[in-house]
């Protein structure tokens, strides 16, 4: 005797539906693995970018030691403000880049999962419809 999905639906052949549902689940697991790989790649890209930014900042910081003692007092006053302005602009640009990288990674992962979810819905629907007998024509 075949199990029934609900009292209103006829009994479905167990083997074909279960087999189709197992295949769908395997595809779902593959999509999850692909999404996880994309997450790890995105995190790696983000970490490399942050490392590059930190290295550039350290190199910039150590390349030109501040010299506040000079012959021009106006330049001595202006230099720290100019350096701070430059640092703020660089920090904003770097933050924007990091945000963009993270958004691209998130969009990739969301796309993988959404595509699989939509495919799984269609595959499940097709498997169940294929297992049901055709409606009688009146």
Query: What would the pLDDT profile of 2-35 be if each residue is shown by its tens digit?
Result: 444 445 555 656 678 889 999 999 999 999 999 9
The model's confidence at residue 88, banded by pLDDT at 50, 70 and 90, is: confident
**Alpha-carbon 109 to chain mean position:** 4
pLDDT reported for residue 17: 86
Tokens representing residue 123 in the block: 């595959």
**Alpha-carbon 28 to chain mean position:** 17
Residues 44-48: contacts with CB under 8 Å, at least 24 apart: 45/101, 45/105, 46/98, 46/101, 46/102, 46/105
Using CA atoms, how far apart are residues 114 and 120, in angstroms rounded to an integer?
A: 10
The total number of residues shown for the chain amounts to: 138
Interval 34-71: pLDDT, tens: 999 999 999 999 899 888 888 887 787 777 655 555 67
Q: What is the pTM of this model?
A: 0.66
């Amino acid at each position: 005797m075949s199990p029934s999905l609900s009292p209103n639906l006829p009994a479905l052949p167990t083997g074909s539906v279960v087999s189709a549902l197992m295949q769908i689940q395997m595809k779902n697991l593959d999509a999850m693995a692909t999404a996880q790989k994309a997450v790890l790649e995105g995190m790696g890209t983000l970490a490399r970018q942050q490392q590059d930014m930190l290295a550039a900042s350290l190199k910039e910081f150590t390349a030109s030691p501040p010299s506040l003692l000079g012959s021009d007092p106006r330049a001595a006053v202006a230099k720290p403000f100019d350096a701070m302005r430059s640092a703020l602009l660089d920090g904003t640009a770097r933050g924007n880049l990091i945000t963009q990288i993270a958004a691209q990674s998130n969009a990739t992962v969301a796309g993988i999962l959404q595509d699989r979810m939509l495919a799984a819905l269609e595959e499940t629907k097709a498997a169940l419809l294929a297992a049901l007998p055709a409606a009688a024509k009146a």
